[in-house]
Structure 1
Amino acid sequence: MKALDIQEKTRSYADVSLVQRTLSVMECANRLELITVHEISRQCDIPPSSVVRILETLCAEGYLTHISRRGGYALTSKVKALSAGFHSKALVVEIVKPIVDGLTKEHLWPFAVATLDHDAMVVQYSSIPLSPLAHARSTLHKRGSLITRAHGLAYMAFCGSRERSLLLRLALERKFFEDQIVSSNYEWRMALRRTRKRGFATRLAKADPFTNSLAVPIVVEPGRVVATLGVTYFRKVVNGANMALIASALKREAARAADLIRERM
């Protein structure tokens, strides 16, 4: 098993050179102000005759249009379809995944990134497979309460007030069974206030007597939370000093993730 972690798995097939060339041409075309055979051939190191065949095929498929010999080619709106499946959640996971893995390598506990999905926070990626201290076999795609869970509290405490009011209404209609442990609106508001003051949220104790979770928001601008970054550990193992250390690491990495996401968005 360790050998698989170190060495790259041997592939049973060779690269398809035509596909590689086509992708290179499309990437280059997206960068150029004036898309010409000569410029693509020069930048991609592909013979002009091959570039012409690729460009004309892309025209036939509707991704490009041929303006003129001097005007070259132009992209069409159809190229947007190539990224239709890559939304903001996918971008966040792509950026935060190595951060999550790095935190587990440093602290051993399983870390996770979650995003809002209508009336709950959903775990989009977890480092449970990397953690020797994992509390569960998997939490991927697990839905967590916005009212009692750390990811939910972290999101609700730092999103905009209008969004918070709407989400609270949706969450109460969702009726997570564990939300009944919150005895009053005052108790929940105090939990939000405590979360803002400390900069991180903790799962409400009554939700699980054996494990605890910490979570911090990834905020790209005031009131705009794109995801939450969190960790789960056994309550009896982590003391106050260790919890403060982990919380500090979470806040540091959440700030770094926000910077990376702003650059890409």
Structure 2
Amino acid sequence: MAYTPVTALLRGLKVLEAVNRIGPATLTEVREATGLPKASALRALETLCHGGYVAQDGESRRYLVAARSLALSNNYRADAALLAAGRPVMQRLREASGWPSDLAIYQAGKMAIADTNRQPGTFSVNRTVGSRVSVMRTAIGRAYLAFSTEAQRAAILEDLVAGGDADEREAGDAARVAALVERTRERGYAVSDREFVPTIRAAAVPVMHHGRVLCAFNLIALAQAVPLATFEDTYIPMLKEARARIEAALSEAGDG
């Protein structure tokens, strides 16, 4: 090797990897996972927090990966276990409801579609894996945002404001964001009723694992074909049930 590795950088990456693997983690858990001295682990965590790659939850004081970490690679892909758990459930939901769904993760200021069961040419908006949609104007983005931790949400909102995208302008309105988060968490789901696409009525729920949001997934329908009351009374309960099945599958996979 023609150069000396930067030990501090390697140490920081090791800590970031541990936080990502553990989920919301205490300093002790990070220290044990990395084998670093307490002072070194704390210094690395504080540096990563300063850079926006890790955040510390204001309530639990645990550390978690912040939104900027997901922007490290444009080739970021959803975890295989998540897709394996979600795909069959989404397909059954489509068969039962007659309407398609998308599964999306947050990535660098947008929700990135990680999986979808839309059929090309059969819907007014045909998204594919890798398509990127608004956080603030879509149900899938609102669900992810609302059920993120306080620290995650702050990092996402910072990204959205800095990006200057017109579709995300509400991210800078603290009162509107607070109302959206409160309403969504009370309901247990988010809605976007002909707001992002004038013909589309959508609802979305978060998928949670070990207390953190992994992704969100939606159910969409043509507004002219499905009255709002039918959508709320029939399809949203189906969406919630599907979410529970995905979370159960993830837990089972993790315990296996």
TM beyond 0.5: yes
1:139 — aligned with what?
128
Cα distance in 1 for partners of 2:85, 2:197 equals 30
Q: 1:228 aligns with which of 207, 216, 220?
A: 216
The residue type equivalent to 2:104 in the other structure is A
Select the structure of larger CA radius of gyration: 1
Q: How much has 1:103 moved relative to structure 2?
A: 0.8
Contact 1:148 1:204 (C-alpha < 8 Å) held by counterparts: no
Provide the secondary structure at the position in 2 that maps to 1:170: helix
Q: Per-residue deviation at 1:214?
A: 1.0
Distance 1:105 1:90 in 2: 23
Tell me how large the CA RMSD over aligned residues is: 2.5
Partner residue of 1:163? 152
Q: Which residue of 2 aligns with 1:97?
A: 87
Identity %: 21
- The one-letter code of the counterpart of 2:141 is G
Q: In 2, Cα distance between the equivalents of 1:209 and 1:247?
A: 20
Match of 2:116 in 1: 126
Q: What amino acid is the match of 1:214? A: A
Aligned length: 179
Give yes or no for contact 2:113–2:130 (8 Å, CA) kept in 1: yes
Matches of 1:181 and 1:90, distance apart in 2 = 33
Structure 1 residue aligned with 2:197, among 208, 212, 222? 208
Quick one: higher RCO (CA 8 Å, sep 6+), 1 or 2?
Answer: 2
Give the 4+ runs in structure 1 shifted more than 4 A: 85-88
**What are the within-5 Å matches in structure 2 for residues 102-113 of structure 1?**
102-113=92-103
For 1:263, which of 244, 247, 252 is the aligned residue?
A: 252
Residue identity opposite 1:116 in structure 2: Y
Amino acid corresponding to residue 113 of structure 1 in structure 2: L
Change (3 A) 1:88 1:128: closer
Deviation at 1:151, TM superposition (A): 1.1
Residue in structure 1 matching 2:206, options 196, 217, 226: 217
Structure 1 gap segments, 5+ residues each: 1-84
Cα deviation for residue 225 of structure 1 reads 0.6
Counterpart-to-counterpart distance in 2, 1:135 and 1:231: 14
Q: What SS does structure 2 have at the residue aligned with 1:203?
A: strand
Q: Distance in 2 between matches of 1:204 and 1:240?
A: 9
Cα offsets for 1:181-237 (capped at 9, x unmatched): 678332232122111111110126543322122110001133x01111102222222
Gaps of 5+ in 2: 1-74
The match for 2:174 is: 185
Deviation at 1:256, TM superposition (A): 1.3
What's the CA shift string for 1:13-65, capped at 9, x where partnerless? Answer: xxxxxxxxxxxxxxxxxxxxxxxxxxxxxxxxxxxxxxxxxxxxxxxxxxxxx
